Amino acid sequence: MLIDTHAHLDFPEFENEIDAVIARAAEAGVTRIVTIGTSIEGSRRAVALAEKYPSVFAVIGVHPTSLEDAPDDLVAPLRELAKNPRVVAIGETGLDYHRLPSQSSLGIVNDPNIAAITGGSACGVQQALDDAYKDMQAAIFQQHLDLACECGLNVVIHQRDAWQDTLDILQNYAGKLRGVFHCFGGTIEQAQEVLALGHMVSFTGIVTFKNAQVVQECAAQIPGDSFMVETDCPYLAPVPFRGKRCEPAHTRQTAETIARLRDQTLEEVAAATTRNAHGFFRF
């Protein structure tokens, strides 16, 4: 028995196919799927799916790159959704510095007229844009964490190019909640930092890629009670499906690869990750 701990079943890629997708997952031994909200509306769709399908559970939140479309008060609707017993965590939430505003606004920040209006150099304008964006992400991340504490739920964490800032914020919540760093692609040393704070990591199909030696080494060495498996579908399809749409059934290929890396059987990895998922999401 396997659990896909991070899927996006509400995305357009699965429209009108959910029954077949869930059936294929069951055939592959994936008996539970956690579908993740990335916006308020997406979180509502996740809850609706969880209410309709017994094997599906929902996580609710606003992705850090979706904040511009979020309402001024995003906590109130999330708090209301969290009352639903099919909701098993808050997220995905976190920090993402991969594409900062300055990178999409180079024409603006390099315009001397804009710099003159703002009373600074183009470089200063660029830095101000990026700092404001990071501050907004940090504030919303903390709102999610506060809500998780209020609701007694754990947190699904998105982190991209913001490692230390993410850890620094989580330090303030030590002992209050647990998080899972989803789609983990870091080193074993970084994983140990996460575990030291009481959190977990989750591996996607990236672990099956030929050029993923770092994450493969991590998956081979990390303690068995510290990780889960996921697809992040429709993204990151594992080998041999790379380049195609990913779906929950592909959790099996990820688990099989991890089993080989750890010199374990698929059954052993499935049992451990299922146990870990039960403990984290409290199904």
The DSSP bridge pattern shows strands 87-96 and 227-229 to be unpaired
Sorted by where each begins, the domain ranges of the chain are 2-281
- Tens of pLDDT, residues 54-108: 999 999 999 999 987 788 899 999 999 999 999 999 999 999 999 888 876 544 4
183-197 confidence digits (pLDDT tens): 999 999 999 999 999
CB count within 10 Å of CB 117 equals 10
CATH 3.40.50.300 fits 2-281, yes or no: no
- Identify which of 127, 147, 129 has the alpha carbon closest to the alpha carbon of residue 139: 147
Cα 184 to its chain centre, rounded Å, is: 9
pTM: 0.93
The mean pLDDT of 270-276, rounded to a whole number, is: 98
**Cα–Cα distance, 217 to 86 (Å, whole number):** 35
How far apart (Å, rounded) are the C-alpha atoms in residues 83 and 79?
7
